[in-house]
Structure 1
Amino acid sequence: MRIPPELLSSETQPQTAAPPFPSPSPYLDLPPAPHADNAKDDLSYISHMLMEEDIVVDNLYHRYRNHPMLLSAEQPFAQILCANATSDAIATDISVQPYPLQSSVPTPEYYSYSDMVTSNSMHVHQDASSLLVNGSTHEAESSGMDMISMAFYKGMEDATKLLITSKTHSDTLDRDRGRKKRLQEAKDGVGVAMGRSSKQKAVQWQPGSEEEAAACEMLDQLMLSDEPSHAGKQRELISSMKLEKPQERRRGGAAGLSHTVDLHALLIQCAEAMATNDQQGAANLLLRIRHHSSPTGDATRRLAHCFTQGLEARLMGTGSHMYKLLLAKCRAATSTLKVYQMYMAASSVFPVSFLLSNRIAYNAIAGRQKLHIVHYGLGHGFHLPDLLRMLSSREGGPPEVRITGIDNPLPGFHPGHIIEETGRRLSDCARQFRVPFKFRAIAAKLEAVCAEDLDIDPDEVLVVISHFCFKNLMDESVTVDRPNPRDTVLKNIANMRPEVFIHDILNGSYSGAFFVSRFREALKYFAAMFDAMDTIMPQENQNRLLAEKWLAMCVMNIVACEGVDRVSRPHSYKQWQVRSKRAGLRQLPLDPNIVQMSKDKVKEEYHKYIVINEDHEWLLTGWKGRVLSAFSTWTADDVRSGLSE
Structure 2
Amino acid sequence: MKVKEAHDSSQNAQGKEYGQRQVKSRAKKQQVEAIDLRALLIQCAEAIASNKQPFDRELLTKIRNHSSPYGDGSQRLANYFVDALEARIAGTGSQIYQKLMAKRTNTSDMLKAYRLFIAACPFTNVAYYYSNQTIVDELVGQPTVHIIDFGITFGFQWPSLIQRFANREGGPPNLRITSIDVPEPGFRPCKKIEETGKRLAEYAEIFNVPFQYQGVASRWENICIKDLNIDKDEVLIINCLHKMKNLSDETEDIDSARDRVLRTIKRMNPDILIIGVANGLYNSPFFLPRFREVLFYYSSLFDMINSTVARSHEARILIERDLFGADVFNVVACEGAERIVKPESYKQWQVRILNAGFKQLPVNQTILKGLIERKKELYHEDFVVDEDGGWLLQGWKGRIMHALSSWKPKESYNNQ
Normalised by the length of structure 2, the TM-score is: 0.92
Which residues of 2 match residues 393-408 of structure 1 at below 5 A? 393-408=167-182
| Partner residue of 1:534 out of 306, 327, 330 | 306
Per-residue deviation at 1:450? 4.0
CA contact (8 A) 1:378 1:405 kept: yes
The runs of 5 or more residues in structure 1 that have no matched partner are 1-233
Find out whether 1:609 has 2:382 as its counterpart.
Answer: yes
Q: For residues 497 and 396 of structure 1, do their structure 2 counterparts lie closer, same or farther at Cα, with a shift above 3 Å needed? A: same
- Cα distance in 2 for partners of 1:479, 1:256 equals 50
- Deviation of 1:331 after TM superposition, in Å, equals 2.2
Correspondences of 1:551-590 after superposition (within 5 Å): 551-590=324-363
Q: Distance in 2 between matches of 1:332 and 1:438?
A: 25
Is 1:546 the counterpart of 2:318? The answer is yes
- 3-state DSSP of counterpart to 2:348: helix
In the alignment, which residue of structure 2 is the partner of 1:238? 4
Aligned to 1:258, the other structure's residue is in SS state helix
Partner of 1:524: 296
Do the aligned partners of residues 329 and 246 (structure 1) sit closer, same or farther apart at CA in structure 2, a change above 3 Å counting? Answer: farther
Q: Tell me the amino acid that sits aligned with residue 8 of structure 2.
A: K
User: How far apart are residue 330 of structure 1 and its match?
Assistant: 5.2
Q: Which amino acid counterpart does residue 460 of structure 1 have in structure 2?
A: E
8 Å contact from structure 1 (residues 256, 292) kept in 2: no
Is 1:440 matched up with 2:214?
yes
Query: Which one-letter code corresponds to 1:484 in the other structure?
Result: S
Whether the 8 Å contact between 1:330 and 1:336 is mirrored in structure 2 is no
**SS of structure 2 residue aligned to 1:257:** helix
8 Å Cα contact 1:611/1:625 also seen in 2: yes
Q: Confirm or deny: 8 A CA contact 1:344 1:351 kept in the other structure.
A: yes
Q: Distance in 2 between matches of 1:254 and 1:444?
A: 56
Residue of structure 2 equivalent to 1:343: 117
Q: Determine which of 590, 593, 596 is the counterpart of 2:366.
A: 593
In 2: Cα distance, 1:424 partner to 1:291 partner: 46
Deviations 1:482-523 (A, max 9, x none): x31111111111111111101011111111101000000000
- Secondary structure of 1:549's partner? helix
**Partner residue of 1:383 out of 147, 153, 157:** 157
Give the alignment's Cα RMSD to 1 decimal.
Answer: 2.1
Secondary structure of 1:244 counterpart:
helix
CA distance in 1, matches of 2:373, 2:252: 42
Code of the aligned partner of 1:571:
E
What amino acid maps onto 1:546 in structure 2?
L
Residues in 1 aligned to 2:414 and 2:215: alpha-carbon distance in whole angstroms: 27
Aligned residue runs from structure 1 range 173-192, under 5 A: none
Q: Is the 8 A contact 1:253 1:297 kept in 2?
A: no
Give the AA of the match of 2:63: I
Query: Structure 1 residues 254 and 523 mapped into 2: Cα distance closer, same or farther (>3 Å)?
Result: farther
Give the alignment partner of residue 624 of structure 1, picking from 397, 408, 415: 397
State yes or no: 1:457 paired with 2:231: yes
Cα distance in structure 1, aligned partners of 2:414 and 2:10: 51
Q: Residue 491 in 1 paired to residue 257 in 2? A: no
Shift of 1:255: 4.7
Matched-pair contact (CA < 8 Å) for 2:147–2:237 = yes
For residues 392-433 of structure 1, what are the alpha-carbon distances to aligned partners after superposition, in whole Å with 9 as ceiling and x for unaligned? 222222222211111111223322122222222222222222
Is the contact made by 2:102 and 2:185 (CA closer than 8 Å) also made in structure 1? no
Name the residue aligned to 1:427. 201
Residue 360 of structure 2 aligns to a residue in which SS?
Answer: strand
Q: Which amino acid aligns with 1:500?
A: I
State the one-letter code of the partner of 2:408.
T
- Once the two structures are overlaid, the 10-residue window that deviates more, 505-514 or 284-293, is 284-293
Unaligned runs of 5+ in 2: none
Match in the other structure for 1:42: none
| Alpha carbons 1:253, 1:298 under 8 Å: kept | no
Question: Post-superposition shift, 1:333?
Answer: 3.0
Give me the identity figure in percent.
41
Size of the alignment, in residue pairs?
Answer: 407
Q: How far off its partner does 1:529 sit?
A: 0.8
Give CA-to-partner distance per residue, 1:191-212, whole Å, 9 cap, x none.
xxxxxxxxxxxxxxxxxxxxxx
SS at match of 2:411: coil
User: How do 1:34-53 and structure 2 match up within 5 A?
Assistant: none
C-alpha separation between the residues in 1 aligned to 2:109 and 2:317? 10
Which portions of structure 1, spanning 4 or more consecutive aligned residues, are displaced by more than 6 angstroms?
A: 249-254
Matches of 1:599 and 1:254 in 2, distance apart?
43
Q: Which of the pair has the greater relative contact order for Cα pairs under 8 Å at 6+ separation? A: 2
The question of whether the paired residues in 1 share the 8 Å contact of 2:363 and 2:387 is answered with no
- Shift of the alpha carbon at 1:593? 0.7
The reply on whether 1:268 has 2:34 as its aligned counterpart is no
Given the superposition, is the C-alpha separation of residues 299 and 318 from structure 1 closer, same or farther in structure 2, using an over 3 Å criterion?
same
Alignment TM-score, normalising by the size of structure 1: 0.60
